[in-house]
Amino acid sequence: MSFGKLPLPSFINSVKTGNCVVCPAVGEDDAVIEVKGKYLVVHSDPITESGKDAGYLSVVVACNDVNMKGVECKWILTTILLSDKAHLNGVLRGINEACNKIGCSVVGGHTEVIDSKRDIVVTTALGETDALIDGRSVKEGDYVLLVGDLGLEGSWILATQFASLLKAKGVRDETLKRAREFREELSVQEKALKVSRFVKFMHDVTDGGLLQCSLELARRFNSTIKIDEKAITLREEVKEIVDALSIDPLKFISSGAFLVITDDPNAVKSKVRAQIIGRVERGDPVVVTERRVISDDVEEELARIESDYNGWWERD
């Protein structure tokens, strides 16, 4: 059995949608609802691939998606599904830490113990705005920029939960130590708000990595996304980890990084560290690089590792 996120086109037509400014669609991180002249931006996300620190990560990744509309995350609801009641305080500490870091508050949720090997936390994040980044002005020739570094989230999860496997594959202790510190770089709110005035669209790099994120942009705008793989650099720690496990870093879960589409890349680069990695081109909704053409949904590398090395997670 394969694990990971299911492709939206496979079931979206079976769901009743409507009464939203932005409704569920490929490439959209959020629902947007108009309320009394303002826009309410809403996103929901589960943490299923990280058994440790699920509370912290759940808040961060859900708020990251709200940030993709150029909006500050203000409120969250958390559903906590525990494998053991004794884990509750640890999950709550993580949620509180993330809320303090981001500046949001818990306004509701649900908590129970379930029959599971790991804790699952589902967070719904909300924010409000007067203006909306909706992508309507995206056109052929616009630039695609990568803000942040690829592979931080995946490397952090592996370094904290698969340390013995990585050591067995030759990854150095100092690399594992530095990778565990990536946790502090997973929130994108500060960077997203800095560049929001200069972008036409933003999309965070999560399941399936940069290639899946780019494919979703291609489908969202019915265009070809041309990516220059040679322009993408990796942190030393990420490279050591992905090489050890033969992970494709462009298919690796990467919260802490996001793609922006803009016609003013210099303005974006003046606010945050960013790399120009591609362009929007006329053509079929696919991703084209110098090495490959991506037309089908990408399998997340972290899910593959968890399946291939079943048992190592429990050992750590």
- State the Cα–Cα distance between residues 214 and 224, nearest whole angstrom: 9
Q: Same domain for 186 and 152?
A: yes
Q: Same domain for 124 and 263?
A: no
Beta bridge partners of 287: 225, 294
Residue 99 lies in a domain: yes
Q: Same domain for 60 and 197?
A: no
Residue 215 lies in a domain: yes
Q: Same domain for 164 and 203?
A: yes
- State the Cα–Cα distance between residues 305 and 4, nearest whole angstrom: 11
Residue 250 lies in a domain: yes
**Residue 136 token pair:** 């309507």
Q: Is 121 helix (H, G, I), strand (E, B) or coil?
A: strand
Task: Give pLDDT tens digits for 178-193.
Answer: 999 999 999 999 999 9
The pLDDT, as a whole number, for residue 229 is: 98
- Amino acid (one-letter) located at 158: L
Q: Same domain for 76 and 207?
A: no
Residue 136 lies in a domain: no
Q: Which residues contact 285 (CB under 8 A, 6 or more apart)?
A: 215, 218, 219, 221, 222, 223, 224
Q: Same domain for 122 and 157?
A: no
Out of 80, 99, 129, pick the residue that ends a domain.
129
Give whole-number Cα distances, 196 to 133, 134, 202, 241, in Å: 8, 11, 8, 32
- pLDDT at 125 > cutoff 90: yes
- pLDDT at 120 > cutoff 70: yes
Q: Same domain for 278 and 152?
A: yes
Residue 138 lies in a domain: no
Residue 37 lies in a domain: yes
CATH number at residue 217: 3.90.650.10
- State the Cα–Cα distance between residues 173 and 159, nearest whole angstrom: 10
The pLDDT, as a whole number, for residue 258 is: 98
Q: Same domain for 166 and 75?
A: no
Out of 106, 129, 152, pick the residue that ends a domain.
129
Could you tell me the strand order of the sheet in which 75-82 lies?
31-35, 38-47, 120-129, 75-82, 105-113
The Cβ of residue 9 has, within 10 Å, a number of other Cβ atoms equal to 11
Q: Same domain for 108 and 152?
A: no
Number of folded domains that form the chain: 2
- pLDDT at 208 > cutoff 90: yes
Q: Same domain for 118 and 248?
A: no
Q: Same domain for 86 and 152?
A: no
Task: Give pLDDT tens digits for 80-97.
Answer: 999 999 999 999 999 999
Out of 75, 104, 129, pick the residue that ends a domain.
129
The pLDDT, as a whole number, for residue 85 is: 96
**Residue 178 token pair:** 């530095």
- pLDDT at 312 > cutoff 70: no
Residue 110 lies in a domain: yes
- State the Cα–Cα distance between residues 278 and 313, nearest whole angstrom: 36
CATH number at residue 67: 3.30.1330.10
Q: Same domain for 179 and 308?
A: yes
The pLDDT, as a whole number, for residue 280 is: 98
Helix (H) or strand (E) holding 16: none
> What would the mean pLDDT of 136-157 be, rounded to a whole number?
97
pLDDT band at 264 (very low <50, low <70, confident <90, very high): very high
Of 12-16, 165-169, 199-203, 242-246, minimum mean pLDDT range: 12-16
Residue 134 lies in a domain: no
The boundaries of the domain holding residue 175 are 143-315
